[in-house]
Structure 1
């Protein structure tokens, strides 16, 4: 049965539904081509040469009652399998191993291609804070290294 009145809505709803089907293509492209900020400088820590890369430039977010910032730690030298445990935090001083071992945040995890970490951080990052990475080997040796916080992370 044909419609007697051909309104604007009846003439264009089919075209609108076709445009709506194109939206997933845009979001799929974004998901397959992510862009990340540049990694921080490489530093030697024990037998490893590492460079942390933040996953975004946003302020820390709250997760399980603590504020965290996401990083990927790239190992340019050394085998991550030789690490017993490693933690990352942001603050004026590195957190102790006993404090970091109490929870599940701040622990490096992943593969030899890249370690992911939810670094523990204060709610607002200040210029007195640094990015701290602490590594413990299977022999019990602990090594700590730090990076300055980039200026565009500071809460203004």
Structure 2
């Protein structure tokens, strides 16, 4: 039996299907071409030269009931295998290793080319806060360094 009148659905279902096929291409392109903020200034921490970079310029987010901010750390000098443990936190002072080692937030992990960390942070970053890195070597030496937080991250 032939349809005498064309409904809206009959006339537009192919356009809707085409849209559904095109949308994943847009998202794949965005996923394959991410944009990141600039690396921060490189600082020397013992034998290491480290330049951190936030993965975005947004405020910290809640992750397992703690606020964290994601960072990439470029190690431009030094042997990463000499690090026993290393942590990142944002605040007015560095957290002690005994407190940092209690959980898995803030610990650095990755490869020789770069490390990643979910830096422990307050819910909102203030102008008094700094980015702190705490490194413990296999010899038990504790190395601490900090970076000033850029104004773009302070609400």
TM-score exceeds 0.5? yes
1:9-62 CA distances to partner (integer Å, 9 max, x unpaired)? 311211221122100000001111111111111010000000011000110001
Matched, 1:58 2:66: no
1:153 CA displacement: 0.9
Match of residue 9 from structure 2: 9
Q: Taking structure 2 as the reference length, what is the TM-score of the superposition?
A: 0.97
Match of residue 129 from structure 1: 129
Match of residue 100 from structure 1: 100
Match of residue 138 from structure 1: 138
Unpaired runs of 5+ residues, structure 2, are: none
Match of residue 42 from structure 1: 42
4+ runs deviating over 3 angstroms: none
RMSD, matched Cα: 0.9
1:114-143 CA distances to partner (integer Å, 9 max, x unpaired)? 111000011111000000011111111111
1:80 CA displacement: 0.9
Count of matched residue positions in the alignment of Structure 1 and Structure 2 = 155
Unpaired runs of 5+ residues, structure 1, are: none
